[in-house]
Structure 1
Amino acid sequence: MKIKKLELHGFKSFVDPTVIDFDLPLIGIVGPNGCGKSNVVDALRWVMGEMSAKHLRGQSMEDVIFNGSDSRPPLGMASVSLTLSCDDGIIPVDYANFSEITVTRRLYRSGESEYLINNVACRLRDIYDLFLGTGVGTKAYSMIEQGRIDFAINSKPVDRRLLIEEAAGVSKFKNRREGALRLVESTKANLLRLNDIIAEIKRQINSLDRQARKAERYKVLREELKTIEVHLSALTFLEQSQELNDLKNLLKSWDEKETETQARLSSSEVEQGSLQIKMTESEGQLTELQEKIYEVTNQIQLLETQQTYKKQETENLKKQNDRYLHEIQLGKEKRGQIASELDDYNKQKTDLSNEVNGVHTVLEEAQTRWNIIHEQSIQETEKIESGKNELSESQSRMATSESQKTSHERQRIDMKGRLARCRAEWGEIEKQYQGSQGLCGEVKEELMSLTAERSQVLEYVAHHKKDIESKKLDLESRAEILKQNQETLVLKRSQLRSLMDLQRHYEGFQDGVQAVMRQTKLEGKRDRIFGVVADFIETQPQYEQALSAVLGEKLQYVVVKSHQEGVEAISYLKEQCSGRSTFIPLEVREGKTAEKLSREKGYMGPLLDHVNIKEEYKKIGNYLLGDVVLVDELVNALRLWQANGHKNILVTLEGDVVDPYGVVSGGRRNGKSLDILKTKRKISDLKDIVMEMEQEASLQEDTLSQLEGKISSMSLDLEKQVRMSHEQEMQAAALEKDLFHHQEVFNNFQERKEALEKEIAELSSEEENIENSIVRTQQSKEELLTLRERLQTEIELLQKNHDNLKEELQKASERLMEARIAAVSADEKVSAIDKNVERLERSNQDAQSMIDRHMAEITEANQKISTLKQECEECVRSWEGLRQDSDSLKIHYGTLKEEYEALATQKSEKEIEIRTIRRENDLAKDHTGNLRVTMTRLEGDMGHLENQIQERYHTNLREVAAHYAGKPIEIESPEEKVKELREKLEKMGDVNLGAIPEYEELIKRCEFLQEQYRDLESSIESLQKAIVKINRLTRERFEKTFHLVNEKFKVLFPKLFEGGKGELYLTDENDLLNSGVDILVQPPGKKLSHMALLSGGEKALAAVAFIFSIFLVKPSPFCVLDEVDAPLDDVNVKRFHQLIQEMTDRSQFIIITHNKQTMEIANALYGVTMQEPGVSKIVSVRMHEATAAA
């Protein structure tokens, strides 16, 4: 399983999708520190399942997601895919059919993770299992960095053992053994729990055995009681059936009378219905016409509004065009000014160019003149020195002659003259030197003061820039928050409008309620029909279920002013067939009052105390909820009912209800009543939220406005300080030029002063020598006098020439300095003009861009104006057509209204006829009603008797009654017998009839659990055998691998160290499952020692020997080495390279390095760079191709 390629996107510094191909056996990854090389290793670790953020050099796992840079925003996801080639045959069995395996891991900033193998979602455990036992993994020896080298050296022997285990392939066995041990422990715990359950079940069996025998006795007595009671009830039922048949015959005659009157009534009602249908059709047509008129009117208003808007939009566009034309004119004027300024600057530059050329010409001439004079001065100095040498020779000859004495005396006089001249010149130079030194000091002080001031300004500018950037970030953050809040506010407003629309149209209410409230709105009767009960009643959320349970459909009762409005509304519903509704008048009679039970447990007071009702509707509230008491839970409600009888309705917070007669209702309500209260509460909550969010948005807008103003003010101040800094920079440059000039003059004076001092010292020394020579050369005075005079004359002439040349050289130096200063000044003027020209050209381009943009916008606006004009004309034509349609519809509406009124008159006449027939029908109904009441009572008695037998004995009395017809009961005093049996049953007390099936069920369950217990014991035995087998395999493989690695280590260590010896040993040879692995080494010329006593380089080399010994025994498909060669010197690096090259035929190596020798052995190099700050890029080089190209 060698690495074929690695794909990264958004992982640490690899923000862009990046693919690294690892198709060669030895790959090098190079790059400067901090460029992201180690991020490649982190990506490999991460995709193979690393879960420790610390091992990935982060604080949390979210740190692996690209967090943004100066030029890039943060990403929301990190993704790494590792493609492995399976050509080497090392592949898990589950993936044997694949030539490649791609492992993908993604992490989202929300914290969600995805793991995929070959694009199929999997678990992290599956990725662990994929690499387990292959030598590859986050904790295996395939990933070796400097920290891993330290791990091999400094870790505990038990931790070092893990590397041997991975090579032995027992890590998978070890995981299975740990899983088996956990399973054994959990199975043992299950056994204990199962044993407790079995003991409890046996205890229950003993108890149920007694209850089952009692239940059998109970069933015998109850069966005898059932036989007698069913027989008695059947005889009674047969007598009541005969009486019921007689009443049915009498009812039949009155039914015929009722049918005859009902037929006449139905005929009249059909005719009335026909008239009603016609009226309904007419009314529908009227309504349809009204809607059409309303629709046409709305369309007319909409067209008028659109026309007004389009005119306003046209005016706005024209104003915008005028503003843009004005700005364009200003832009053109600005471009003209810029062009004029550019011409001026170009002329200045042309003039300056000539000046610069002239200045440079003068500078070259001055330099040439200075060079010539300097050369002549050197020549004259050489001549003077030659004359002096010659004079010195003559003086040496005067040692034996008297005439030389005279020559020395003259020389002494000459020396004194020269000394006087030199001293006089030194005095003058000293004065000029002191003055020049003072000027330099003043200029330096001024320059230092200006530099300090400019540093303060620059510091202020930098600080202000940071403040402005901080405030801009704050502004952007606040603007984003405001935008999000505004979006949320729009959403909340939309939700509020939707809920208010539902409430306004009574969505979810009964059809009858919707029809009444819709008609009330159309006819404007809100002063007589006020709404539904839910409109006027409110409560807190915790009481909504209780209130909904008590009121239920009563929440949809329509509140009216009096009964008259309710009767009219009911008539309307009947006429329109629009459903049913209940109406409650304001002056409804008050109901019962809830009893005070403040001392009772669970009592929370009358429900009315927890409900808010408007004052004018208090009576309705008292009627609906006056006798309702709120209790915390159903148990307490039942206890209160038993203690206080049937005086109040009891309701719990969860909506369970106990009525005064003890009937209990409860469960989970899914009805509309609770939705009505919730919708009303949601509307109230949303209103508060919207109001609060609007206030908060207003405050945020004010804060943004203030922040923008502050940023603008700070920006102006910053521009002022920047301009000041530029001015100070120019002043500093001028002072530096002055300082350079004064320093040059000062240096010249200092050099001349030092030369004179030296010359004075030399002359003084010569004068002393001459005085001494005069005594010795008195005899040669006459002979050498002529020679001295001649030499004196020559030297004086040469000295004069030399002094003249010095003066000319000084003047040439001054002219040269002036020419240099003039050249620098002219160059700076040209540079300043170039900068101004560049600035003006940018301004000219900006002005032209503004003109082009505004011209395009004016063209677009003119097109919009033309379109709006056409749309306005179209609106006028549509308006005229709609106005004609409206007039026509109104005429048609008047005609239909007359037809509707005629039908209403016919309907009234028919209603009078129907009332007469209905009175006759009502008389017949009274008789039939009375008979039916009697029959109903009789049927009720029979039904009660049936239900009683059904409930007690689960027997259908109607079916068994015929069996007992004509069969009197054979027992004397059956009623007494029934009483006796009942007393026996009551004396038995509570009987658990379910004990018999429960007893049988428990016997079966106990047998099943005992079987489970035996199975668990068997599974524990199997697991322990498996653990023993795993331990045996682990010992064998670990021991074999340890000895093989030790043999390789013994060979590799002296090979890398060119001598010495090293070996591995077990800390506890008797415990191969847990023994640690330690290392003993002996470098050449040293005593046997532990690894911890070695030097840094020796440790690294010994650790490499240890890890590569493992590789030689169990080569990992690939190996990643992260700067492992860093602590090695050149000699050891070569040995390290040789070792790697020997192993490339078995494993793939990826080396991250700074070592040039290591780079040279790589088949390919990948360079990691950061051309863009914070963003890593990959550049690849194929070494054999590069070598061939070279």
Structure 2
Amino acid sequence: MQGFKSFADRTQIDFMPGITGIVGPNGSGKSNIIEAIRWVMGEQSAKGLRGDKMADVIFGGTKTRAPLNRAEVGIVFDNQDHYLNSNFSEIEIKRLLYRNGDSKYLMNGKQVRLKDIQELFMDSGLGHESFSIISQGRVEHIFSAKAEDRRAIIEDVAGVYKYKQNKQQAGKKLADVQDNLARVTDILYELEQRIEPLAQQSAKAQDYKDQKQAFEQLDQSRLQIELTEWHQTLETTIAERDAQSVQQQTISETVTQAQTDLQKQKLALIDQRERQQQAQQALLEVTQRVEALAGEKRLQAEREQNQKQLVAATSQTLTERQAAAANLVQQLDQAKEAATQADSTLKALNEQAQQLSRSTDQAHLMALEKQLADLRPELVTALERLTTAKNNQHFAQQEHQRADAQTDRYQQRYQSLMDQIKTAKANLEAVQAQADQAQADLKLAQQALAEQQTQGQTAERQYQANREKWYERLQAQQHVQARVESLQRLNEQYDGYYQGVKQLMKQRNAFPGIQGVVAELIDVDPKYQLAIETALGAALQQVIVDTPNTAKQAIQYLSKHRLGRVTFLPMSTIKGRQLAPNLLQTAETQPGFLGTAADLVNMHAEFKQIKQQLLGTTVIVDDLDHANQMAHALGQRVRLVTLDGQVINAGGSMNGGASRNQQQGLLTQKNELADLTQQLTGLNQDVTTLEAAVKSDQAALNELTETFKAQQAQVLQLTEVQQQQTASLQKAQQDLTHLEKQQQSLQYDMQLAGVGENQDDKVLQEQLQSAQTQYDDVNQQLEATQTEMTTLQKSLEESNQALVEVQLAQKTAEADQQHAQEQVTNLTAQLKANTDAQAQLTDQLRDLNMDRDDVNQRIATELQAKQGEREQLVQRLTEIDKNLQNQQNAIDQKERAIEQLQGKQQHALAALNQLTARQTGLQTRIEQAQAQLEETYAVQYQPQAEATCADLPAIKNQLKLLKRGLDDIGDVNMNAITEYAEVKERYAFLNQQKQDLLDAHDDLSETMSEMDEEVKTRFKTTFDAVNGHFEQIFVKMFGGGQAKLYLEQPDNLLETGIDIKAQPPGKKFQQMSLLSGGEKALTAISLLFAILAVRPVPFVVLDETEAALDEANVDRFANYLQSVEQATQFIVITHRQGTMAACDVLYGVTMQEPGVSAMVSVNLNDA
């Protein structure tokens, strides 16, 4: 081992035969050796190894050593006696664990599973939990455990673990079987609930299928005949519809053309009105433009006046500056002399200039100009509003004229509506009277129809009753007929016969000597049918021929073609057989005797010898009990056959039983054919009689049906008349209501037109007055502002002139103060600037004059053009108004003409729709019928002859009968036939499965019982053996006294617990729990040694087992080990001197290095 707990270094321990002792101080690692053995043998509990997790067994390191990453322990067993169940004579088990959790087991160098290790030690007495490894805790467990827990000790020794494990597995299998059995039982119960209903549904589905087939054949004929009639009616209807369509198309084209013309006229009217609105809008825009040009002309005049004033002022200023510049040189000398005076003058001029600059006239003028600019747009807006109001008033006058004309038309239309309403009321009264009469006629016809219907129902019930009887007999006839035909085919094809017989009889014409097969030539009463079939057996298929030569020829034919084998009965050579008279007399006296088989069948006289050969020595008996009695009476010398087919052969052998799916015999088949043929004759007569009765009832029913149809047709006709009268009445009421609504609508329109006209005149007059007032107010404000502005401008010009003069004086005074030459230079520059300014002003004045002329010319030209355009627009509006009136009159006339044409169109369209609906209905019926033929029956339409068409009523009656028969059957599950077969097959399969599960249940229960018995036997045997050895070893250990094991429940060996009673020397016999600690330990050790005596093991590991014993008992313990060391190898961990003295080899465990165990060995025998 290496890396296991404290054994960091690789350590090898050789356990020699005898007793090996392991000693060492506490904490040196002695017990780690035992734990290493348990670990390598499969221990899975970390706590059992004194750890929290399995990784704790890996060397964890010390102060001087680093931890290791794995633990490794290997153990080698000498298996030359093959104590362990393995073919190897030496077995090495190795276990490795890595710190990352990986682990593996090795057996002889090959990796194996833990399960393989456990199976190797199973029931061997070895292993990590066996009694081959005993610690002090194990000893304590024996005397402290409960009685039921001690049972495991004996079970382990008895080796019943595998039986208990097998029983547990069998129990699981048994539970699975029980679950499966429950499921199968549930499914079978479910299937049982379904089989009977499915059987009924299957029979019902077959009946439905037969009737439906007959129904479909008749329905195909019905569809073909109806399609022929509908095609003929369709051709007639199409011709009528085409003619009506031409008439309706002509009227429609006329109406369409009239509507097209009307639409064109309305579009022209709309265009004319749009042109009217455009002209009105253009007139308004031209008028507004004329007014705007007039205002623009006035503004231009004002601008010209202002420009003239500005030019004049500028020219005057320039002239003054030029004069001042000319005088500057002359004034230069005077300025020097008058410098002082200039100072005072300059001060005065400065004061005067400041006063002139503070004048508010200029600010006032700017305010007036802004006010004037604000008023001008207001004036233009007021002018536009005034113009619009005047135009609206003009247009309103024109609308008044048109409204007057519209009012006249309303009056005419209103009078016309009143006349139409009067006529409609009269028409309504007439139609109401006709509708009442039609309702009365319809009521009388419906009463007569009800009486006809009652008579028809009575006849229908009688017919239905006879029809059901007929159909029932017909079904029976068809069923019997089908069975007869099937049996006849079977007989003709020799179905059920051997291959050789079948092939030969197909060629019987080639062999004239063949008389037939025995089954064909024999007749038997149905009562003896099964008995004779059993008696004859394969002889039923033997072929009767005239001579052996015929048989020879037939055999050669069969052999040549390899067609099979046949037994032949030549009439010329076969001799009959019969019972001895004494045997026959004895048989006749026995109960149950019915006769010899030959006497109970009929064959032609020429076949008498053959009959006697086949049946002359066979006796027919009623039942098997009488047959046994008769066989005994006849000395087992006669072949007996019972009515149910059981056989007692001569000599005593018996043959009997029955097959679940027993096939029908040849005689049974033959007799059935005869019975069915006779039954078919009677059924044919019944069907013929009932068919005549059904036809008679059907004729009477047809007559009543025709009468009913005639009466029904009359009711339908009267109903149609009544509906037409009702429709006419509703139409008249609708017409009257429509006319009254038109009257009310017209009255409303007339009222609305009058009110609207008055309201529009008032509003237009108010708008005109308001616009005129607004225009006058704005114009007055504008004139007042202009007047004030003119006055202010004059005052401002005077102030400016004075300011200029003062400023000139200031400049002059300032120049007087400066150097004369500088003043001359400045004045010269000023003169030049004034000259440039004058030139610039001159250019501006010229440009202004040119712009003014262009603007004036443009305004005058545009004003003249707009005025001419306005006159043209006024004339154009007058012409448009006239055209609108003419177009409106033409439209009204055209609408009245279209109303009349539409009335004719509706009547023609109604007739066309009726024919179209009839055609569509016929086409739909034809398409549906053809689709039904193709989709349902996969048949194409074929025109039918008139004679065939005449059969349609009869076909419909037959269809009605079959339909009612199908309806009487009700809902049918067509899948029931297949489903019934599937369910029946599944039911049989599951029944077999259930039986298999029951058998498995019984087998498992028996197996578990056998295992329980084996466990009981092994447990009891082992218990007795352990108890015997325990009594002996206890005496040896204690030097006297007695001890015994007791079963708590001797009658329940599978669950009983085990008690221990002991009597050390000098004490009473008592429970083990009442002994002292040392006594309990020695008693437990005695029991362990007893177990080892019963179940010897190759080696035993004892871990301080004797720690609780005193010195005397330790010596006894050591002596016992020495007494059995020849049979068992002991490994003892101890610190007791007596035990050490008994050891052959001692291993000392030390820790020369802290935390690391090391081994030292001493062979005491050598010492």
Q: Give the TM-score taking structure 1 as reference length.
A: 0.34
Q: Give the TM-score taking structure 2 as reference length.
A: 0.34
